[in-house]
Every structure is written in structure tokens, then in C-alpha cells.
């Protein structure tokens, strides 16, 4: 064993480093063994590895911080975009709610004009109102965002608005139909002034004063030249001289209504002409079989003579 230790000591060589200064000063030396160099090398290697590890870890920390900063910027940008979208949706919802209120008010007015019961509005045929009827509460689930709630409100409002427009379309069609029928209904006094001199139905013969005579209309005594008005809107079927009626006009109004005017002094319309209720179509006279100036006025409903006074307001 002793020779082996001596051999190890011989291997561990000793080195001397000498420093020789200028200007005649004494030189200095530093002696060390080879094992010291190894220890210094190992120590420097450890320091190098530690430095590399620290540098790598620092780089990772910097990279993660950079990533987190980018994610934070992206989150802020996304949140700003969502906030803007939410504000736009809320503004659009407010506008749609205002439009809905106006549509509902208009619907009520149309229903009143039609005589419908506003408090009992039936659902329009084929419409499932449950798809947009409101639901809600004081709190929402944690996974629900306000933008999702607002988007759902917007979707339901759009659906309801479309249904309201469809209902209004039907109601307006009914209103137009009703107005058209009112325009076609002969319900106005057909001349300026005058008074009834002979009523509808059976009467004595106007020329002899005896016997029975069927009168298909009413006679309105008036001055020569008094204007005669169209009892309702329609098209002139005939305008001209017609047997005992003298100067005669017949108008078709639709919906089964017709009116006829006789004994006029002059006619202001022609066959095929469109006239509106209240338009002047001629003037009172005594043409044809007549005892004096008057207007003979008839109302025919579905081809049957009818008493004009049942419709005149």
C-alpha cells in the first residue's frame, strides 16, 4: 500500500508560477499542484453549468412573461370588442323595443278601427308565440354572459317584430277590405236637399191617384238643377235615356250593390266611367214619366230591389 501512495504523490505534480517585476525588484513565485488545477476546473465547470441553468431559467421566465403579456393584451382587445358589441346590441335592442311599442300601439288602433276586442287578441294562425314570450329571474347561471342574454333578447325581439308585422299586414288587409266595402255601400243622401215625396214599395198610381203601383225606389222632390250625387263608389253601367225613367244613370258598386237615378234634367257621367261616393253625376229634373222635378233613387242588393232608407245614414 505504501508504494501506491508514493506513486500517487508522484503523479500529483507541483507547478510554480514566477512573477518577475521590472526595475530590479525581487521576483515572486506561486507554487501549486496539478490537483488544484483540476479542482479549479471542476469548480469553473460547475459555475458554468449553473450559469447556463440560471440563464435558461431566466429566458423561460422572460418568455412566459412575454406570453402572458400578449395573452393579457389579446384578452383586453377581445374584451373591448365584446364590450363594444354588447353596447351596440343593447342600443339595437332599445330601438327594437321602441319600434315594438309603436307597432303594438298601431295594432291596437287598427283593431279599434275594425271593432276588434283589443283586450282579447287571438294568436295569428300558425304562430307559436311561446318562442318569444319572456322568461327570466333576478340572477343568471355562472356560465351565462350578458352579451348572450342581450343576443337572445335581440333574437326574440326580431321574431316578435316579424310576427307583429304579419299580424298588422292581416289587420290592414281587413281594414282596406272594410273601407272598400264602406265606399261601395250606398249610405248617403243622393241629392242636395229635397224631401221624400214617394216611398219604396206599394203606392197609389202617381198619375191617377188610384189603383196599386209598385215603386222600386224613393222619390225625392227637389228644385230643377239640384246636384245628384253618386250614392257610393263604383263604375257607371249605363248613362242615357231609359224609357219612363227619362235621363237615367245606373252604377255598379261591387259587393252586390247597385244604384239607379232617374228623371234627371242632365247627366254628367258616361258608361264605364269610375265615380267616387259623393261625385256629381247629374242634376234633378222631370224627364220621362214624371209629374214634377224630383230624383227617383233606387238601391239594388244582389239583384233585388231594396229600400234605400235602410242604408242612408
Helix (H, G, I), strand (E, B), or coil: what is residue 215?
A: strand
Residue in 234, 216, 220, 215 with CA at minimum distance from that of residue 190: 220
**Percent of the chain clearing pLDDT 90 (strictly above):** 38
CA pair distance 43, 13, nearest whole angstrom: 20
* Per-residue model confidence (pLDDT) at position 286: 96
* Per-residue model confidence (pLDDT) at position 70: 79
What DSSP element (H or E) covers 121?
none
| DSSP for residue 134 | -
* pTM across the whole model: 0.58
* Per-residue model confidence (pLDDT) at position 8: 52
Nearest-5° angle of CA 285, CA 287, CA 290? 95
| DSSP for residue 136 | -
CA pair distance 271, 269, nearest whole angstrom: 7
CA pair distance 267, 244, nearest whole angstrom: 16
Helix (H, G, I), strand (E, B), or coil: what is residue 257?
A: strand
Regions in the chain scoring below 50 on pLDDT: 119-132
* Per-residue model confidence (pLDDT) at position 165: 78
* Per-residue model confidence (pLDDT) at position 186: 97
List all residues 6 or more positions away from 178 whose beta carbon is below 8 Å from its beta carbon: 114
Q: Which grid cell sits at 24? A: 530590479
Amino acid at each position: 500500500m505504501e508504494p501506491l501512495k508514493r506513486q500517487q504523490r508522484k503523479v500529483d505534480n507541483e507547478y510554480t508560477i514566477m512573477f518577475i517585476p521590472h526595475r530590479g525588484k525581487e521576483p515572486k513565485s506561486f507554487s501549486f499542484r496539478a490537483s488544484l488545477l483540476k479542482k479549479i476546473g471542476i469548480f469553473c465547470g460547475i459555475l458554468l453549468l449553473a450559469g447556463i441553468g440560471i440563464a435558461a431559467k431566466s429566458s423561460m421566465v422572460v418568455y412566459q412573461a412575454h406570453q402572458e403579456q400578449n395573452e393579457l393584451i389579446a384578452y383586453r382587445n377581445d374584451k373591448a370588442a365584446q364590450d363594444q358589441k354588447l353596447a351596440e346590441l343593447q342600443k339595437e335592442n332599445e330601438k327594437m323595443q321602441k319600434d315594438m311599442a309603436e307597432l303594438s300601439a298601431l295594432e291596437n288602433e287598427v283593431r279599434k278601427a275594425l271593432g276588434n276586442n283589443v283586450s282579447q287578441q287571438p294568436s295569428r294562425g300558425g304562430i307559436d308565440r311561446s318562442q318569444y314570450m319572456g322568461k327570466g329571474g333576478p340572477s343568471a347561471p355562472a356560465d351565462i354572459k350578458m352579451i348572450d342574454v342581450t343576443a337572445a333578447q335581440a333574437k326574440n325581439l326580431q321574431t316578435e317584430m316579424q310576427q307583429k308585422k304579419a299580424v298588422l299586414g292581416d289587420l290592414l288587409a281587413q281594414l282596406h277590405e272594410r273601407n272598400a266595402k264602406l265606399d261601395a255601400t250606398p249610405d248617403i243622401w243622393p241629392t242636395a236637399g229635397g224631401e221624400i215625396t214617394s216611398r219604396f214599395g206599394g203606392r197609389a198610381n202617381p198619375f191617377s191617384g188610384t189603383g196599386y203601383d209598385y215603386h222600386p225606389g224613393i222619390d225625392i222632390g227637389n228644385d230643377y238643377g239640384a246636384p245628384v250625387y253618386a250614392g257610393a263608389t263604383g263604375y257607371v253601367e249605363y248613362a242615357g235615356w231609359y224609357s219612363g225613367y227619362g235621363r237615367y244613370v245606373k252604377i255598379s258598386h261591387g259587393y252586390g250593390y247597385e244604384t239607379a237615378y232617374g228623371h234627371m234634367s242632365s247627366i254628367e257621367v258616361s258608361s264605364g266611367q269610375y265615380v267616387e261616393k259623393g261625385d256629381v253625376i247629374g242634376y234633378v229634373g222631370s224627364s220621362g214619366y214624371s209629374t214634377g222635378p224630383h230624383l227617383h233613387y233606387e238601391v239594388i242588393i244582389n239583384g233585388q230591389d231594396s229600400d234605400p232608407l235602410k242604408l242612408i245614414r
